[in-house]
Amino acid sequence: MTVDTVSEDLLQVDGSDLVEALAEHGWGDGLPMVAPTPTRVEAMLTGSPGTDPDEVVAVLPPRFGEATRRILAVNAVMAGCRPEHLPVLITAVRALAHPEVNLRGVNATTHNVAPLVVVHGEVARSAGYHGGRGALGPGNRANATTGRALRLVLLHVAGATPGDGDASTQGGPAKYGLCFAENADASPWPIYPSAVGVDAPSAVTVHCGEAPHNVHDMESDDPIRILDKVASAMATTAQNNACISQGEHFVLLCPEHAATCAVAGWSRRDVSSYLFQKARLPATELKRAFGLRAWAPWMDQLANDELVPMTEHPDNIRIMVVGGPGKHSSVVPSWGMTRSVTLPIHELGD
C-alpha cells in the first residue's frame, strides 16, 4: 500500500468516511483513521531525516510485502502518529523482520499472539512514550498510535488480515496494538537493553506473545512471596510455553514490586533465576496435557515425579519495570516459537 495506490479523492477523506472507503479495498483496522495525504506523509517523513524514503526497511511475511520508509510513514499517518514516532515504528518493523521472531509463524498460528513493543531510553522521553501508571492501557498518544501503526503495517504490508494471513482462532485486543515505555526512572536496575547487550541511547524491544496476565500482591515485603505469585502465573498448562521450551516470559514488574526485590539485594538476574526454579509443574502433569512437545532433550529425560521448568533457560525470563503506584505486575508469555529482539534506534543518529 502506498500513496500512489490510493485515489486522490480518497486521500482527502477523513474520519469515519475514510474507514468505509478503505474497507472497500480491504484496508484498515475498523477504527477511524487519518487520511494519508501526500502533505501529511512528507511531514511524517521528517521524523527520519536524511534517509531515502523509498529504502526497503523490511520484507514482511506472509505476503512478503516490502515495507519502505514511505509506506511506514503512510501507515503512521493513518494511525495518528507524530513524526517523532516514526523512528520507533521503523525500528520495530526492523525487529519484526529478524528471523528469530518468526513473523510468518506469528501471523499464521491459531494462537492469539501479537507484537508487544517496548520503547527504551531517550526517545521514550523526547517522543512522549509512557511507562508509568496505566502504561499498558489507553490515554497516551505515542503508545496508542505507534502500537496501532505497527498493526496497520502487518495488515497492509505483511498481509496479516484475519482469515487470510492471520489464522488466530479468536484474535485478541493486543492485535489492535500494544506499545509502552520501560519505566527506567523507577527501575532499581540498569535499563533493559543493557541486559541483552544493546548499548544505545534509545532502543526498541519487540516480543510476540499473549496479552498480559495480572499478578496481584498488595502486602508482601519479601521478594519470595511476590515472585511465588509471579511463578504461579507462569506455571500453567494453558500456555504454549508449557509444551515449547524455547519460549520466553516477559515479566513486567511494577516499581513497588521491583523495589522490594532490589532492597533485599536481588538483581534482575536473581529474579530470573528464582522464577526459573519456582515456575515448574510435575513432568507427569505436562506429559498428560501434551502428547506433542517441543522440549529441550534434557527436559524430556526428566522422570515423571520431577518438576519441569516452564522454559529451558533462565535467560528466557525477561525482567523489566513498567507502571506506576500500586502493587500489580504482569506476565506476558510468548507464543513459544519466537524470540524477542531489541534493537538500537539508528534513525535518531544514535
The Cα–Cα gap between 259 and 323 comes to 13
Global pTM reads 0.94
Residue length of the chain: 350
Residue 54, classed as helix, strand or coil, is: coil
Same domain for 243 and 201, yes or no, is no
Same domain for 245 and 260, yes or no, is yes
Same domain for 202 and 231, yes or no, is no
Same domain for 41 and 148, yes or no, is yes
The answer to whether 304 and 282 are in contact (CB under 8 A) is yes
Same domain for 189 and 274, yes or no, is no
Same domain for 193 and 217, yes or no, is no
Same domain for 220 and 175, yes or no, is no
Same domain for 164 and 62, yes or no, is yes
Structural domain boundaries, residue 44: 1-210+341-350
Strand order of the sheet with strand 202-209?
A: 179-181, 114-121, 202-209, 341-344
Same domain for 50 and 158, yes or no, is yes
Please report, for residues 100, 181, 201, the alpha-carbon distance to residue 66 in angstroms, rounded to integers and kept in the order given: 19, 27, 28
Q: What is the pLDDT along the chain (350 residues), one digit of tens a residue?
A: 444 455 555 666 665 678 888 888 888 999 999 999 999 999 999 999 888 999 999 999 999 999 999 999 999 999 999 999 999 999 999 999 999 999 999 999 999 999 999 999 999 999 999 999 999 999 999 999 999 999 999 999 999 999 989 999 999 999 999 999 999 999 999 999 999 999 999 999 999 999 999 999 999 999 999 999 999 999 999 999 999 999 999 999 999 999 999 999 999 999 999 999 999 999 999 999 999 999 999 999 999 999 999 999 999 999 999 999 999 999 999 999 999 999 999 987 54
Same domain for 215 and 200, yes or no, is no
Same domain for 260 and 174, yes or no, is no
Domain count of the fold of the chain: 2
Same domain for 121 and 221, yes or no, is no
